[in-house]
Structure 1
Amino acid sequence: MIRTLLALDGTLVRGAMSLVLEAEDDIMVVAELDGGEPVGPVLWTQLPDVAVVDLDLVDDAVATATNPCPLLVLTDPRRAHGLGDLLSTGRTIGILGNNVPPQAVVDGVRRLSRGEPVVDADLVVAALEVDLPPLDGPLTVRETDVLMLTAAGSPVAEVAASLGLRPGTVRNHLTRITRKCGARTRVEAVQVARDAGWI
């Protein structure tokens, strides 16, 4: 039995996917989470074999967790840029567009549980092309956008609205930016990036 965790935004979508997975003889959904619940702790309490997760719900705790559970990440193809950092973590990760047929998710869960790759090649190419860091600094294009808006005084909610992201995703970007800049706060990160010519 493949123990599966679902962390998907939207009760209707999550419920429908749970029904599809539970209808399979070899898959059992052990937990369902929405956007308001942290995924990392549940990976440890439920110990799923595979976690099906919206890209927006993958924070640093999930991406870098030592729990070996593979992640099947679902994302809007138009937002593949957010996959860049995730692909570099070394975790076992499957990637599918969130517009794939439900059976593709079922197949992805099975394949990841067997250690087989699950990759939407178009999404990966888009992620690597759009999210490559510029030559003159460590920040990705998306991180640079986030930091420039933050430097202009925009709060997280406004940054998220401007870039078509969720506020939690913006906060995750800011955490990575602060770390990459060797800073302690967002304000300090802005100053470091400006001094270095990254923004």
Structure 2
Amino acid sequence: MIRILLADDQALVRGALAALLDLEPDIEVVAQVGRGDEVVAAARTSGAEVCLLDIEMPGLTGIEAAAAVRAELPGVRSLIVTTFGRPGYVRRALDAGAAGFVVKDTPARQLADAVRRVHAGLRVIDPDLAAESLLAGASPLTAREAEILALALDGSPVADIAARAHLSAGTVRNHLSTAIGKTGATTRAEAARVAQDNGWL
């Protein structure tokens, strides 16, 4: 039996995935969590071999949880299963140590097959997303520019962003200006939206 953990902040989605996967003769759902920062502990205590991770969760994102699983439980594999099929997410998830990336509307049989393949040590990526990811290329933003844009998403003033990032206001303005240029946007709000839509944040 392949022992899996499901991590999704929507209980209904988690329950539906569990019900579908439990129908498979060789797959057993051994743990379910609603927060990304609960994944490692739950995987450790349940003996999960594959973690199915949503991206947008409280505590840690699925990408951050995949990195934590790789660091703390190197024998456990992670598969991102998300509604948000953004090309930038695929690259970031694989860089974080995820073994696969599929979208939630994947048919149940294909999802079960993805679990089996990831468990066997293979990589599984939704083919449409893989093509989009290759065409989109890597994020043009540096880690610091992405961090500043993420802080700018809520429309905070430069002074607030500077305080949260522990930088001077001038440095924040420079990062925002560079990020605006790299995303082809005209305002920081538009740059943040472009970066988010591409999965760079």
Q: Please give the range of the TM-score, normalised by the shorter of the 2 chains.
A: 0.5 to 0.7
- 1:185/1:84 Cα in 2 relative to 1: closer, same or farther (>3 Å)? farther
Task: Give me the identity figure in percent.
Answer: 29
1:10 is aligned to 10
Matched, 1:148 2:152: yes
Secondary structure at the counterpart of residue 95 of structure 1: strand
- Report the Cα distance in structure 1 between the residues aligned to 2:18 and 2:155, rounded to whole angstroms: 41
- Report the Cα distance in structure 1 between the residues aligned to 2:146 and 2:95, rounded to whole angstroms: 16
1:105 partner letter: L
- Matching residue within 68, 77, 83 for 1:76: 83
- Matching residue within 85, 95, 111 for 2:92: 85
TM-score, scaled relative to structure 2: 0.67
Q: Is the 8 A contact 2:148 2:172 kept in 1?
A: no
Q: Which moved more, 1:21-30 or 1:74-83?
A: 74-83
Give 1:138 shift. 1.1
- Report the Cα distance in structure 1 between the residues aligned to 2:157 and 2:118, rounded to whole angstroms: 42
TM-score, scaled relative to structure 1: 0.68
* Unaligned ranges ≥5, structure 2: 180-201
- The higher radius of gyration belongs to 2
- Report the Cα distance in structure 2 between the residues aligned to 1:122 and 1:85, rounded to whole angstroms: 16
* Unaligned ranges ≥5, structure 1: 155-173, 175-182
Give 1:51 shift. 0.9
Give 1:103 shift. 1.4
- Matching residue within 46, 60, 64 for 1:60: 64
Give 1:143 shift. 4.9
2:118 partner letter: L
Give 1:95 shift. 0.9
What does residue range 10-159 of structure 1 map to in structure 2 within 5 Å?
A: 10-35=10-35, 38-57=38-57, 58=62, 60-65=64-69, 66=71, 67-68=73-74, 69-89=76-96, 91-127=97-133, 129-130=135-136, 132-134=138-140, 138-139=142-143, 143=147, 145-149=149-153, 152-153=156-157
Q: Is the 8 A contact 1:133 1:139 kept in 2?
A: no
Q: Is the 8 A contact 2:118 2:124 kept in 1?
A: yes
Give 1:37 shift. 6.0
- 1:133/1:184 Cα in 2 relative to 1: closer, same or farther (>3 Å)? farther
Figure out how many residues of one structure are paired with residues of the other and give that number: 169
